Structure 1
C-alpha cells in the first residue's frame, strides 16, 4: 500500500485552474425554474406561477434581487 500525498501524485506540469474559469455567469435567458431554485423553493406549479409573475414585474434582474 503506497502512501502518496496528493501533491506527489501531480505531475510537474499540472496547474490549478484559475477561479474565473471555474465559474460562469448565467445566460441572459433566466428560466422560471432558475428563479424558483435561486429562491430556495421547490419547482412546483405554484412556485413557477410565482416566478412567472416576478419575471413579468422585474424582468431578468429578478434573480439578482434574490442574491445576497
Structure 2
C-alpha cells in the first residue's frame, strides 16, 4: 500500500496565513448584527445597541478587532 504524497501546492504548517485571507471583505458595509455575531453574543436589542456604538466609534475596524 502506498502512502499519499503531500500536495505540492500546500503551504508548510509553519507559515503564517496572510491577514487578507483571514479577514476577507465582501464589499458590503459592516452591520451591527455582524459585530454582535462576531463577538459571540446573542442578537438582543441591548447587544445590537452596543454594536452600533462600537461601529460609530471604531468604524468597520470594529469587526476586524473581534475576529481572530
TM-score by length of 1: 0.60
1:1-68 alignment runs, 5 A limit = 25-68=25-68
Q: Which has the higher helix share?
A: 1
User: 1:25 deviation in Å?
Assistant: 3.2
Q: Which runs of 5+ in 2 are unaligned?
A: 1-23
- Give the TM-score taking structure 2 as reference length: 0.60
Which structure would you say has the larger RCO, counting Cα contacts within 8 Å and 6 or more residues apart? 2
Q: Whole-Å Cα distance in 2 between the matches of residues 26 and 44 of structure 1?
A: 25
How far has the Cα of 1:54 moved from its partner? 0.2
For each residue in 1:17-59, what CA deviation from the matched residue of structure 2 results, as whole angstroms up to 9, or x when unmatched?
Answer: xxxxxxx633340111011000001000000000000001000
**Paired residue secondary structure (2:49):** helix
1:67 CA displacement: 1.1
Larger radius of gyration: 1
Can you give the 5+ residue segments of structure 1 that lack an aligned partner in the other structure?
A: 1-23
Query: Does the 8 A contact of 1:28 with 1:60 survive in 2?
Result: no
